[in-house]
Structure 1
């Protein structure tokens, strides 16, 4: 179960956010004072930190800088500031993503899932095997028996995401966020086209019905 640490000074927003995260199965902890936040994060050992920018007695910038000196834990900034300068500063100091308030819970969850997958992928083997299919992440090649085929960038990302989370339904929103880092301004038909291309590529190595559609929910393998 992934562990998340929330740094938010607004008590009501903090309670609401923790509730949303815990409903998704995350194990959560939060700072209620902000004089030793970095130490609390390191002691808890989270898989991801959700960090407000403006905090009493300190700032998210300070926490990101001090945390990066000791840890590479993924950090998502969650703030009411939509300043491009604040976003750029956050990313330059080492934050992994930046989400503005008021936030869409589904979008925030997708961003968290995305950074967690990226972190897990860095430590993961370069090949994934599931149900007789082998995906070489480094070469972008999928193999079934004696047949292999090169995948496009998007086909590779979709198949890797599904195989890494096999037997779990992955929503269209999660896939779009993985492909384009956002589901905003992306025509839903674009994803359908990519899914269909992946299915045709798998058919070329003799694999049919590998990618399962769950209507209204997403896809799984």
Structure 2
């Protein structure tokens, strides 16, 4: 049974979501003290976190930042705020998805299932090493290393890199990446993919690899590799 931590201060909504998710055999935990979210997260060790933006004490962005500094657990924002900068901020902080309130429960469960399947089916695979542009990509550990150092990627960032590397020097369409990452592309803002790719490039900058994830306007993205004679 997967453990889900729902960081939500609306008691009515919390109990409604808890009841619905329990019907899908998810074990849902709430927050007792909104000034100690990180401690409660550490105590529970959930498999996935769903978090609102507007919370008592500190907002969801603060707690996303704190959780992400300690863990790569998948994080989904669930918020009534609808400004594009809220989604961009959540993705920049390392969230995996963003759902706007009010929401249809089928959308929530689809995104939870897609995220858990992507993260935990993928992470149970044997460690796989792949060379790219003089760097070593270790899929099982979500790291990429080169003589310049080692960087750690989130699950989404590594999954994007994995798909692009499997098709080196070939364009992968935005639609294909969205379907691979989130399953139901009509629930996902096109901007979500852009933010994730830009975040991946930013992570690759210290290794000098960011120029090799290229944008093909109107088509998609490509991971380039040097041609060998």
Tell me if TM exceeds 0.5. yes
Deviating runs (4+, > 6 A) in structure 1? 137-140
Change in Cα spacing, 1:71 to 1:11, as seen in structure 2 (3 Å) is same
Please tell me whether the aligned partners of residues 6 and 14 of structure 2 are also in contact (alpha carbons under 8 angstroms).
Answer: yes
- Whether the aligned pair in 1 keeps the contact of 2:6 and 2:50 (CA below 8 Å) is yes
Pairwise mapping of residues 1-221 of structure 1 onto structure 2 (< 5 A)?
1-125=1-125, 178-182=182-186
Deviation of the 1:122 alpha carbon = 2.9
**How far apart are 1:10 and its partner, in Å?**
0.7
Between structure 1 and structure 2, the one with the greater Rg is: 1
What SS is found at the alignment partner of 1:99? Answer: strand
What is the total number of aligned residue pairs between the two structures?
A: 144
**1:84-138: per-residue Cα shift (whole Å, max 9, x none)?**
0111001101111000000110000000111111111331337xxxxxxxxxx99
Structure 2: stretches of 5+ with no match in the other structure: 127-162, 190-229
In structure 1, the gaps of 5 or more residues are: 127-136, 141-152, 158-174, 186-221
Across the aligned residues of Structure 1 and Structure 2, the Cα RMSD in angstroms comes to 2.7
2:132 is aligned to none
